[in-house]
Chain A
């Protein structure tokens, strides 16, 4: 795989956006089937629904950000590190 494609795949925004969208959907759906005992456990709050909607919103925001402002790969700058002269070679 060329480097730019790999870098696009590893855009952290895709990763966070994707995982949070998936979790958000799972929890939101679970939130519609919340049992009374589960609601009571969480102090009367339907926490799965709220957490699901929150994660879904954050996930979609990251995906949107990635779409609006895609990753640009800048060319690697050629530089001679100042410390190079007395540094041993590491593999």
Chain B
């Protein structure tokens, strides 16, 4: 088993990082009265900060360990998770959906649903969000435990409990108040940890050509170097193992739009921007780093495949271990410390964000709204504290679920197909079809989640979802990733059909109550568009969007 030999210098670097992060939290608590004030007098952050926080909120455990795992398992086609699985949705969020979120002055995504559809859709969404968050927080806990396991040699079980204790301490000491600041700081630290690792390892491989040669001779083969070849439905030869329908519709359209345009943690970052234009630019600025992050995750994944014997087989290391193993192999003390600080920071922040959003939604959207109304503030504060501890305890349980997956990305995609895919259908209809009724909003969401569930269980009995389309009664050759993508498509279609059908037979909300929430219904209280300062031509949302899509098209052709 591998041990990272961290030295005093590495621990010093780690200690400084935690001192700074906890220090920000403590000072923030002492000097600033409310969360809103902390974000520089409410909505007042410039677009570059919210843009980096937007992308950093996503650059957590899943991204770093999971995408490197995908790179090793599926090869260059993993870029689909970035170029068709993220950038188009981020552009859509910025250009099309942000005006409704920001214009309606909501503070969270469930709150938009409450204003638009009322209590039933809101209650369902809050409850399913709470479940999804607890399940995902387990992934972060597991990833943190994995690093402790590799770094210090503890067993995974012990490491999961210790990781939970660290997260609890971090949250209690005020790590939550300063979330956005930590995220921006974390973005730079993660780049400073992954960039040298990628460059040193690539140099060791003999440069790009040397790496290509090694991948050709690995189990991925020539197609492991191509993103778009071998994706024909029914005859998939690319290691990614999904046909282009699953890629473009499942990943690119339903899952990606569902995640990026309705995810609480992501959208929240844009809502703290200082004006509408900055809010729109938040995901658009985030799109640029997103285009290039695959170089920092997929390339190390491919290198791991070349240098770690038996990676991804029952006898060797799991794909999830790729990045920590490479760090131990290539980084000397010093650079190793920075790398560890980056990894640990990402997990803390990811887990803290999960716990805080679970906490907020459970305490205010569920407990206060539907279970115990009208108590004092102090009562809800205590409920919130209890929920934080409970959330972490449940997270320990779900961490063991996550540890059962050799590629955590597949587990994440499964969760997203259940919880995020239906949301996007509901939001599109909510924002662009003013007739969509409150009951339709509720039943559409329910139908979407049920649809994903039915597809998931039915898929195990359909030969199409097995390797080489050959049914395997033991289910061990199931193509989990492709099934997840089709599950997402099912959820989306079920939500769409049921929402439209129910809308036809129920009564819509009066148009007056939809002001600012729906396309084409003007909000009489909205500021005059001419009175809002226009950004410079180079910062116009449309230009930023066009250039980012252009870069993605050029890169897709190069790596086809």
Contact = CB atoms under 8 A, between A and B. Distances in A.
B335 interface: yes
B13 A23 contact: yes
A7 B40 contact: yes
A19 B104 CA distance: 38
Given A12-B181, A43-B203, A50-B196, A26 B516 contact: no
Interface string B103-116: 11110000100010
Contact of A16 (B115, B185, B369, B513): B185
A73 interface: yes
A82 B515 contact: yes
B105 A41 contact: no
A30 interface: yes
Contact of B115 (A47, A52, A87): A87
Contacts of B525: 80, 82
Contacts of B364: 90
A28 to B, nearest CB: 10
A19 B31 contact: no
B380 A91 contact: yes
B334 A48 contact: yes
A4 to B, nearest CB: 10
Nearest to B106: A83
Nearest to A20: B188
Interface in B150-172: none
A15 B24 contact: yes
Contacts, number: 124
A41, A76, A88: most-surrounded residue (chain B CB, <10 A) = A41
Contact of A41 (B27, B41, B44, B332): B332
A19 B185 CA distance: 9
The number of chain A residues touching the other chain, given as a range, is 35 or more
Contacts of A1: 31
Interface string A15-42: 1100110110011001100100011011
A76 B115 CA distance: 26
B331 interface: yes
Q: SS class of chain A's interface: helix, strand, loop or mixed?
A: helix
Contacts of B369: 88
Nearest to A62: B188
Contact of B200 (A12, A19, A43, A52): A43
A20 B111 CA distance: 38
A24 to B, nearest CB: 10
B42 A48 contact: no
Contacts of B331: 41-42, 47
Contacts of B185: 12, 15-16, 19
B329, B368, B377, B525: most-surrounded residue (chain A CB, <10 A) = B525
A82 B103 contact: yes
Interface string A65-91: 000000001101000111110111011
B332 A34 contact: yes
Contacts of B105: 81-84
Contacts of B188: 16, 20, 58
A36 B117 CA distance: 66
Given A15-B24, A45-B203, A82-B523, A26 B334 contact: yes
A41 B196 CA distance: 13
A15 to B, nearest CB: 6
A51 interface: yes
Interface of A: 1, 3, 6-7, 9-10, 12, 15-16, 19-20, 22-23, 26-27, 30-31, 34, 38-39, 41-45, 47-48, 50-52, 54-55, 58, 73-74, 76, 80-84, 86-88, 90-91
Closest CB pairs A-B (n = 9)? A38-B332, A81-B105, A43-B204, A91-B377, A48-B334, A30-B334, A6-B31, A82-B525, A76-B41
19 contacts: A16-B184, A19-B185, A23-B16, A26-B12, A27-B334, A41-B331, A42-B332, A43-B200, A47-B335, A51-B334, A51-B335, A52-B334, A54-B192, A58-B188, A73-B41, A74-B41, A74-B44, A81-B105, A90-B364
